């Protein structure tokens, strides 16, 4: 698990500055503190940078990237993990391929030699982002894993194509412009983003399951994208017949156990994140059965009983004999680390649980661990979120009577009352563009689209004018693959939409990789093994949500290891208490607002409207404002703080200089590295 970066020049004779490559590695040293590698492909105007976190093959020289094939034709720089690599390495060795390292990265060079790069991708199992250069074809390809667990960004300058694991890596190149776009600002203030975009003008994200292919043509760089994998929920016509419940339960159990076994593979100790949800509890239960010694489990707790899950997690840890370590976060503490979190997330956050997660990963790192198993993906695959279940009730239960639907909806709303105005919209919303593409506007997007109505008034007048006719719903609808939506069950549709939008940018992004890797922590999600997922999409809707049980199939498959109270418990979204629930937290938030939302700071950034900002702050402080309204205002204030911090971190400051200074601090210098040749 590492950080990568690189450059491809429009003119192959234009040299790559190695100092820039080293700086690109240094600014992401949190992703890879164990060493720097770089490589310039001579006379090709192509260069790579790598910051290494040693997980597989701890030898500092053998594991140093970039890797170059024995014939010099292929170069790869890789972030992430490929699982099942021992079996693949054995197979390739039996066919005459010779390995110079024990690193899983080297697999790709030999698989590409055997199958071609695109033909190699089905064999790669895990979470990854890598860049692969083919000398004969003069082609650079960026590849991101099937769900976007690992980030990867790119931008173009008049002379170059620049890429990196994080936006700050791209910005470390002195020719890349740094500016928050008006459309990007719009989406940062409403949380929901257009897939493939960022807050910054000209900075794009490689989308999950896609390749970005860069080739030189007629003196220019030609960039194209290609999808190599997608979820492929079955058509309704293919769901006409189904298997008995026991078939799905047994198959899920088999895939799940296999995934955990693979993800426990490392040359360093592996721990587990543990909350009070069945996702992390089932992972811990199976991991404990796989290990000879007690599994180390790390839990974050809050000083608010409505949001704290430590008691339930303790019950699970005791049941399987895990060694549990609980980190309790105080309310005001979260805002103290807000600016640091935004440096890592590189986008706005609506709830401070991402900061709690960052503090947890810091504690895990300090405890001597570099790898944890984590539960992301379960809610997406098995309809765990209340928004997904709401759409199943509203649109996917054709055989239910109106009274039965109403009863289930009332139950869902009552049991998720603290998420009103946040995960669940207070009033239904219909977006014409999304309804046209999907058949209805998914509930999982409605609360964020509702927030969009307040966005224009918050923006600086120039930014407001630039987005006068902008429709965020239409922008999102325009990038969705309708062939993956049409003809599907409503629950399949909303799971697909959520996975393509909020899951990638929020759950896996600012609540996942970005705050884990902020502390050099590799988080591995067993539920996102693509073999398991390709089975999970075939599950009938009633195997996901039945009666009043979310994640029905997972509960039944893991019933034997779950304590009774946890087996019966409804899904509870992992969130930190909003600011209005805690006096200390409100005070800490107001202190940040005094700095970042002052008139002087607002005028300097040119992003927000000062009068509108002050009105939001006053309304939040008004004791007559309802709790549900305050929940929405909490998110708005967090967004406003976020965009001001984004400007301060990445526009106002000289990022290329920061990167060079960081390289000097680390002692990472331009000296020809020892490269692994495979």
CB 520 within 8 A of CB 368: no
- Tell me the DSSP string of 148-180: -SS--EEEE-SSEEEEESSHHHHHTSTTS---B
Chain centroid to Cα 335, Å, comes to: 22
Chain centroid to Cα 212, Å, comes to: 19
What is the token pair recorded at 49? 């940078």
Q: What phi and psi values does residue 327 have, to the nearest 5 degrees?
A: -110, 115
Q: Tell me: is residue 104 an annotated ligand-binding position.
A: yes
SS3 501: helix
Q: What phi and psi values does residue 597 have, to the nearest 5 degrees?
A: -115, 25
Nearest to 170 by CA among 204, 221, 137, 121: 204
SS3 204: strand
Whole-angstrom distance, CA of residue 111 vs CA of residue 94: 13
* Number of other CB atoms surrounding residue 311 within 10 Å: 11
At 221, which helix (H) or strand (E)? Answer: strand 220-227
Give Cβ neighbours of residue 664 (< 8 Å, ≥ 6 apart): none
2 an active-site residue? yes
Task: Determine what percent of the chain falls in helix, strand and coil, rounding each to the nearest 5.
Answer: 45, 15, 35
CB 338 within 8 A of CB 643: no
Residue 102's alpha-carbon distances to 54, 60, 71, 585, 658, in angstroms, are 12, 12, 19, 48, 34
Whole-angstrom distance, CA of residue 323 vs CA of residue 521: 19
Whole-angstrom distance, CA of residue 329 vs CA of residue 432: 42
Q: Where are the alpha helices (DSSP H) in 243-382?
A: 245-263, 278-290, 310-320, 331-336, 338-345, 353-366, 378-382
Identify whether 66 is preceded by a cis peptide bond (ω within 30 of 0): yes
Give Cβ neighbours of residue 399 (< 8 Å, ≥ 6 apart): none
Beta strands in 398-557 (DSSP E): 522-524, 545-546, 549-550
Q: Tell me: is residue 46 an annotated ligand-binding position.
A: no
Nearest to 511 by CA among 357, 292, 626, 343: 357
Residue 415's alpha-carbon distances to 378, 406, 412, 567, in angstroms, are 20, 14, 5, 16
CB 139 within 8 A of CB 133: yes
Q: Where are the alpha helices (DSSP H) in 172-304?
A: 182-188, 245-263, 278-290
105: exposed, middle or buried (C-beta count within 10 Å: 0-12, 13-18, 19+)?
A: buried
Residue 122's alpha-carbon distances to 202, 232, 484, in angstroms, are 30, 15, 19
At 462, which helix (H) or strand (E)? Answer: helix 461-466
Chain centroid to Cα 137, Å, comes to: 32
User: How many residues are given for the chain?
Assistant: 678
Catalytic residue among 2, 36, 272, 444: 2
* Number of other CB atoms surrounding residue 429 within 10 Å: 18
Vertex 322: Cα angle to 317 and 323 (nearest 5): 110
Question: What amino acid positions are annotated as catalytic residues?
Answer: 2
Question: Binding site for ATP, residues?
Answer: 300
Question: Binding site, residues?
Answer: 104, 300
Question: Binding site for L-glutamine, residues?
Answer: 104
């Amino acid at each position: 698990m590492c950080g990568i970066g690189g450059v491809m020049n429009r003119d192959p004779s234009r040299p790559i500055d190695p100092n820039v490559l080293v700086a690109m590695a240094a600014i992401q040293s949190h992703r890879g503190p164990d060493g720097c590698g770089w490589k310039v492909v001579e006379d090709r105007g192509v260069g790579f940078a790598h910051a290494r976190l040693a997980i597989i093959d701890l030898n500092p020289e053998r594991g140093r990237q970039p890797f170059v094939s024995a014939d010099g034709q292929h170069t790869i720089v890789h972030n992430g993990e490929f699982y099942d690599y021992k079996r693949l390495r054995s197979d390739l060795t039996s066919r005459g391929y010779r390995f110079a390292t024990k690193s899983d990265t080297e697999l790709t060079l030999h698989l590409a030699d055997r199958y071609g790069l695109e033909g190699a991708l089905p064999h790669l199992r895990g979470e990854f982002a890598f860049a692969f250069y083919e000398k004969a074809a003069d082609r650079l390809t960026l590849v991101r894993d099937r769900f976007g667990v690992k980030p990867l960004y790119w931008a173009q300058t008049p002379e170059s194509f620049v890429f990196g694991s994080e936006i700050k890596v791209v910005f470390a190149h002195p020719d890349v412009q740094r500016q928050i776009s008006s459309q990007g600002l719009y989406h940062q203030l409403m949380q929901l983003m257009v897939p493939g975009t960022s807050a910054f003008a000209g900075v794009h994200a490689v989308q999950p399951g896609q390749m970005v292919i860069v080739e030189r043509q007629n003196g220019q760089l030609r960039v194209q994208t290609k999808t190599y994998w997608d979820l492929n929920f079955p058509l309704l016509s293919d769901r006409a017949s189904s298997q008995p419940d026991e078939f799905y339960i047994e198959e899920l159990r088999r895939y799940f156990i296999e995934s955990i076994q693979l993800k426990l593979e490392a040359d360093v100790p592996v721990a587990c994140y543990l909350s009070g949800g069945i996702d992390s509890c089932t992972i811990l239960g199976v991991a404990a059965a796989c290990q000879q010694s007690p599994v180390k489990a790390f839990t974050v707790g809050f000083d608010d009983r409505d949001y704290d899950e430590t008691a339930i997690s303790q019950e699970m840890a005791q049941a399987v004999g895990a060694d549990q370590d609980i980190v309790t976060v105080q309310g005001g503490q979260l805002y103290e680390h807000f600016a640091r979190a935004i440096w890592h997330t590189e986008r706005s956050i609506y709830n401070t649980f991402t900061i709690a997660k960052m503090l947890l990963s810091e504690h895990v790192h300090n405890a001597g661990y570099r790898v944890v198993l984590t539960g992301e993906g379960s809610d997406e695959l098995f309809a765990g979120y209340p928004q997904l279940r709401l759409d199943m009730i509203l649109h996917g239960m054709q055989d239910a009577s109106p009274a039965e639907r109403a009863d289930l909806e009332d139950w869902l709303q009552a049991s998720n009352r603290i998420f009103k105005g946040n995960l669940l919209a207070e009033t239904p919303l219909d977006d014409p563009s999304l309804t046209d593409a999907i058949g209805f506007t998914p509930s999982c997007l409605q609360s964020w689209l509702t927030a969009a109505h307040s966005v224009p008034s918050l923006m600086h007048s120039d930014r407001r004018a630039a987005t006068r006719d902008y429709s965020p719903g239409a922008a999102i609808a325009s990038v969705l693959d309708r062939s993956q939506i049409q003809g599907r069950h409503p629950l399949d549709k909303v799971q697909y939409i959520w996975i393509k939008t909020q899951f990638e940018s929020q759950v896996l992004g600012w609540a996942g990789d970005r705050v884990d890797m902020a502390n050099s922590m590799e988080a591995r999600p067993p539920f996102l093994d693509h073999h398991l997922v390709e089975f999970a999409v075939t599950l009938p809707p009633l195997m996901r949500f039945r009666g009043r049980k979310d994640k029905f199939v997972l509960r039944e498959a893991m019933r034997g290891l779950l304590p009774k109270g946890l087996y019966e418990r409804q899904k509870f979204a992992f969130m930190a208490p909003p600011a209005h629930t805690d006096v200390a937290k409100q005070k800490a938030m107001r202190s940040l607002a005094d700095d970042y939302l002052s008139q002087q700071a607002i005028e300097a950034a040119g992003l927000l409207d000062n009068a509108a900002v002050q009105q939001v702050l006053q309304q939040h402080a008004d004791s007559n404002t309802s709790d549900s309204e305050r929940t929405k205002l909490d998110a708005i204030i967090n967004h406003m703080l976020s965009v001001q911090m984004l400007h301060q971190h990445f526009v106002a400051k000289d990022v290329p200089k920061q990167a060079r200074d960081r390289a000097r601090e680390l002692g990472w210098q331009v000296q020809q590295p020892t490269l692994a040749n495979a």
